[in-house]
Amino acid sequence: MRKLYIRTFGCQMNEYDSEKMADILHARNGLEQVADPAEADVILFNTCSVREKAQEKVFNDLGRARELKAARPGVLIGVGGCVASQEGESIIGRAPYVDLVFGPQTLHRLPEMIERRLSSGLPQVDISFPEIEKFDSLPPARVEGATAFVSVMEGCSKYCSYCIVPYTRGEEISRPLEDVLVEIAELAQRGVREVTLLGQNVNAWRGPARGEHADADFAELLDYVCAIPGIERVRYTTSHPREFTDRLVDAHARLPKLAAHVHLPVQSGSDRVLAAMKRGYTTLEYKSIVRRLRRACPGISITSDFIVGFPGETDEDFRQTLELAEAMAFDGSYCFAYSARPGTPSASLADDVPPAEKNARVRRLQALVDATAAAISQSMVGTRQAVLVTGPSRRDPAELAARTSNNRVVNFAGARRLVGHLIDIEVTEARAHTLRGVVPGSQPVTQSQAQAATGGAR
Ligand code: SAH
Ligand code: SF4
Ligand code: F3S
């Protein structure tokens, strides 16, 4: 066994977990990650079940892995993540060529599961929730570059009526404060300048009380993280409106290292629908958080998630969602058509908005938010922005890419030595998904333009 292929579906928690799978299988089994599943000895799927489409994709891809295994019988196939957590053994029933089924909280046991699979010849299933054990058993992350994700809490205890996550990931558990801080300090020593604190509801994070002190909350965690030498920018995702405390709002006024961006899913602009979703807040409460955030950090970018076509959502409910989206001037959003998830409370309600209507609502809402985001990008042209230079640009490797505080990619011509540094950039142009900029005082030409000019191409 030498090569590992991982296919990741779903959210950033899954992206993070996939990196951890690669880390542990590299440290313990010497496996190198490859981009082509046909080369791999171990093929892992890190799956998502948040919507039906995501779940079905997994089974399509598994079919392809089966063909690879037929061609090379020694190949091991593993299914992890939320579909695995939900379906367990039954995955082997549906796809008997699968060797390993593991959950988001048991991925650190992969080396032992592989060993048992090889010695017993039997498929291995472990989808238990052994609390925080996972983090204690993982090798240090292999970092490349100036940014890193750090998981601070796992799971979700909110039980929104439509959502599968509490059942697949388990209840909310916070990682101990010291563990988080030590991990970030080590990352900083290895060149990381920006960390994104991750959790299904990061602001539900709690540290245990110490002596006279009450429980530490997420705002306090941010204080500690921002104080770590070398860390220049801090982000977090996803936050939940229900635990968006005044202290967290204040952190945005107090901590200059905190990025001017919050992803704060609202889901709907109708109080009736929010109540049916069991979100635990009203539109008024949501608007009040956004208003206070904007006061604390002028220019802060707020992005959101929406579900349209929830059971019973009327034209009037949807109109209220459009109205809220417009009023909040969101700087981006993910709009999803409601998808009934087996086992959730809302799955017993009639899924009564026709698919064509759901899709039309998704398009209308997404277009509205995209237009506000484009206007915000346009308003940044001519301004100076502090950006963290992350590496070569994806489109033109002769250029650099950097990220603004409000989470936009800026491409510009600049020297390689800028990578990993926080610098000022002047924004010169807003494109569909990125910005263009120049280092103040430098020539506003790209390297490729310069090459074309010297080559006499034009
Ligand atoms: N914990 C985060 C979101 C996690 S899931 C929060 O509560 O804000 C990511 C997004 O998927 C959700 O915000 C929601 O918009 C969407 N989603 C979750 N369940 C869904 C379902 N059954 N159908 C459609 N979209 C769903
Ligand atoms: Fe799902 Fe709600 Fe938990 Fe978010 S808060 S993960 S939507 S149950
Ligand atoms: Fe999907 Fe699980 Fe994330 S269901 S969105 S991978 S928590």
Residue 455: the pLDDT is 45
Number of C-beta neighbours around residue 32 at 10 A: 12
Give CA–CA dist 23/289, Å, rounded.
38
Give CA separation, 324 vs 261, 278, 313, 338, 349, in Å. 19, 18, 15, 19, 25
Q: Is the CB of 192 under 6 A from ligand 3?
A: no
Phi-psi region of 42 (alpha: psi -120 to 50; beta: other; left: phi over 0): beta
Who lines ligand 2 at CB under 6 A? 156, 158-160, 163, 165-166, 200-201, 240
Q: Is 119:93 a contact under the CB 8 Å cutoff?
A: no
Residue of 197, 199, 177, 247 whose CA lies nearest to 219:
247
Token readout for 89 is 């053994």
Q: Is the CB of 163 under 6 A from ligand 3?
A: no
Residue whose token pair is 């080559």: 455
What tens digit of pLDDT does each residue of 21-67 get? 999 999 999 999 999 999 999 999 999 999 998 888 888 888 888 99
For residue 281, report the distance from its CA to the centre of ligand 1, in Å: 16
**pLDDT tens sequence for the chain (458 residues):** 799 999 999 999 999 999 999 999 999 999 999 999 999 999 999 999 999 988 888 888 888 889 999 998 899 999 999 999 999 999 999 899 999 999 999 999 999 999 999 999 999 999 988 776 777 777 777 777 899 999 999 999 999 999 999 999 999 999 999 999 999 999 999 999 999 999 999 999 998 766 666 789 999 999 999 999 999 999 999 999 999 999 999 999 999 999 999 999 999 999 999 999 999 999 999 999 999 999 999 999 999 999 999 999 999 999 999 999 999 999 999 999 999 999 999 999 999 999 999 999 999 999 999 999 999 999 999 999 999 999 999 989 899 999 999 999 999 999 999 999 999 999 999 998 899 999 998 765 554 554 554 443 33
Three-class SS of residue 337? strand
Residue of 251, 305, 240, 20 whose CA lies nearest to 150:
20
Residue 130: the pLDDT is 79
Residue 211: the pLDDT is 67
Give CA–CA dist 310/267, Å, rounded.
10
For residue 378, report the distance from its CA to the centre of ligand 1, in Å: 29
In a 13 Å sphere around the CA of 149, the CA atoms on its Cβ side amount to: 17
Give CA–CA dist 244/264, Å, rounded.
9
Residue of 127, 119, 37, 136 whose CA lies nearest to 81:
127
Give CA separation, 152 vs 11, 155, 187, 244, 378, in Å. 15, 10, 14, 16, 35
Phi, psi of 362 (to 5 degrees): -55, -50
For residue 450, report the distance from its CA to the centre of ligand 3, in Å: 45
Q: Taking each helix axis from N to C terminus, what angle separates 218-226 and 246-254, rounded to the nearest 10 degrees?
A: 20
Burial 191-201 (b: 16+ CB within 10 A, else e): ebbbbbbbbbb
Phi, psi of 199 (to 5 degrees): 180, 155
Give CA–CA dist 436/129, Å, rounded.
46
Residue of 98, 96, 92, 94 whose CA lies nearest to 76:
98
Give CA separation, 202 vs 137, 222, 292, in Å. 22, 11, 19
Q: Is the CB of 422 under 6 A from ligand 3?
A: no
Q: Is the CB of 77 under 6 A from ligand 3?
A: no
Residue whose token pair is 């033109």: 396
Give CA–CA dist 191/337, Å, rounded.
40
Give CA–CA dist 392/414, Å, rounded.
10
First to last CA, the chain: 53
Three-class SS of residue 253? helix
Give CA separation, 216 vs 187, 190, 195, in Å. 23, 27, 20
Residue 458: the pLDDT is 34
Q: Is 84:74 a contact under the CB 8 Å cutoff?
A: no
Give CA–CA dist 35/63, Å, rounded.
18
DSSP 8-state symbol, 185:
H
Give CA–CA dist 255/446, Å, rounded.
35
Residue 236: the pLDDT is 98
Phi-psi region of 88 (alpha: psi -120 to 50; beta: other; left: phi over 0): left
Phi, psi of 339 (to 5 degrees): -130, 120
Token readout for 374 is 């484009």
Who lines ligand 1 at CB under 6 A? 50-51, 156, 162-163, 165, 200-201, 238, 240, 265, 267, 305, 307, 336, 338-339, 341
Give the closest ligand to the alpha carbon of residue 305: 1
Give the closest ligand to the alpha carbon of residue 12: 3
Q: Is 62:45 a contact under the CB 8 Å cutoff?
A: yes
User: Whose CA is closest to atom 2 on ligand 2?
Assistant: 160
Looking at the DSSP bridge assignments, the partners of residue 423 are 387
Residue 319: the pLDDT is 98
Residue of 381, 316, 363, 310 whose CA lies nearest to 339:
310
Residue 215: the pLDDT is 86
Q: Is 148:233 a contact under the CB 8 Å cutoff?
A: no
Q: Is 231:193 a contact under the CB 8 Å cutoff?
A: yes
